Structure 1
Amino acid sequence: MFHYRWKAEVDQISASRRIAETNLPFYIKFLPVVNTLMKNKIAKTVKERMSNRLWVIGSNENTEDQITSSFHNLLSKLSLHLKDRKYIFGDKPSYADFGLWGQIYNSWTDPTPRKFIEEDYPDLLPWIDRMLNPKDEGSYESWDSLSNTLMPILKEELGEIFLPWTSEITASMSEGKEELSVIIKGKEFKHSIGGPQKYHVKSLAVLKSKFDSFKGNQTLENILTEANCLRFLQ
């Protein structure tokens, strides 16, 4: 989401103006001229600052193709998975829905991602809308019911991309490195390490802690092994 939002001019303008709108005092809307001047000033500041900070999330000339390819693969796989179900694990929302929806919904609010989401992944749209007001509408499905379309997401996006990257971030930051280099799907993924990466260190620690509480669950371990995730959580 961050990459698309601050990469192209059209998305920078759209996002910065919306952010500026939310930061204006309520009474300013009654002063049209002042409203416009303040909005333009705030939007310009936001646009300049954020468009120069792509590096902090690892986006650069070396990584942008891998970032966009991964995002499109996720959208494609998730679209197939959600085609005939309301939420990722069945008929009620879970942390998985909230985590992915936040990124995808906010991407959809930007011009460039909105266009390709609506044109190429229309089966995601009901879920995007449903998650604005999520409800418990039934039960979670069994793994046998979910696995055919969920395992490819776990394997390709978590086991092959996210977990190798976030594990390397954790190791690199613990060693005080200022740059990360990790091989992802046979290609080097190299970028500077910024302050926001500390949140990935924390999130990986939480994932490991959560997994610890399920140690001995052979069914779960078999799933994580097949998805190439287990070794990053132990």
Structure 2
Amino acid sequence: MSQPNQDLTFYKDHTLISDKILKSNNSYLTTITYIQGTSPNWLINSLIENSLQGSALPINQELKTTPSRSNVIFISFLHNKEFYIRNLKKNGIDLTQNSNFIFIDYFTNLFSEKIKDSTNAINDTNKLFDDSKIPKNSIIFIESPEILLYSTNIISDDLLFNLIKLNKKTNQLFIISSKDEELIDYNVNEIDNPTFKITDFLTKLLFRSQLNISLLPLKTGRAKDITGSLTITKGCLPYNDKNLIVNEKEYVYNITKDSNIKIYFR
């Protein structure tokens, strides 16, 4: 594309995770949703970097480094820790040497060790989200918790209860979730149907958030110089700080063969 590359920001103060959030006594929720083919890993990597040290070089050149900015708790149902260790090395961060980063692996051995009976999973699920293990005032990322909805008998309200409980423990919670079209159907009403559970979960989640980030493929398919679009919108719940204003915008982005990220206004 001929237009200049843009720095990505979420707020009017030109930040991704504002200091106003980290210094707040309130709890805020951001959703990151995506469709197959528009993996948000590049964005998540930069948000981890921004949480730990203030910068986010692949997507924003203006943010300054702030050593030991925040503790990060990353809970994943989709990847193991090695996946993020490898990814963050590309951002110049060695997670194996960073005591502010705690990874909770719910991908490896989830259904052999953590959840013994998927048809009666509520107690084991509640244990997964035991907030006594979470240091206060951390930034928490939870990746693909919806896996529990189509793999066990828990319903969306069971999962939401645990997520909101964790949210109250921290200033900022990011929930990263797939919203593939084949899993979303507002006409299904059987409470045990996985499609209903996913649809109900995502709908209620969006109504509880302050900020929503959506990654989608182009309607015309992937172009040579565009991978997908990224939309930033206000959630249904407002921020308590009137000076914390969401910078609602739509971008297109391209991930090159050498993993460089180019972002443009749409």
* TM-score, length of structure 1 as denominator length: 0.30
Which structure shows the higher strand fraction?
A: 2
Which structure shows the higher helix fraction?
A: 1
Relative contact order: is structure 1 or structure 2 higher (C-alpha 8 Å, sep ≥ 6)? 2
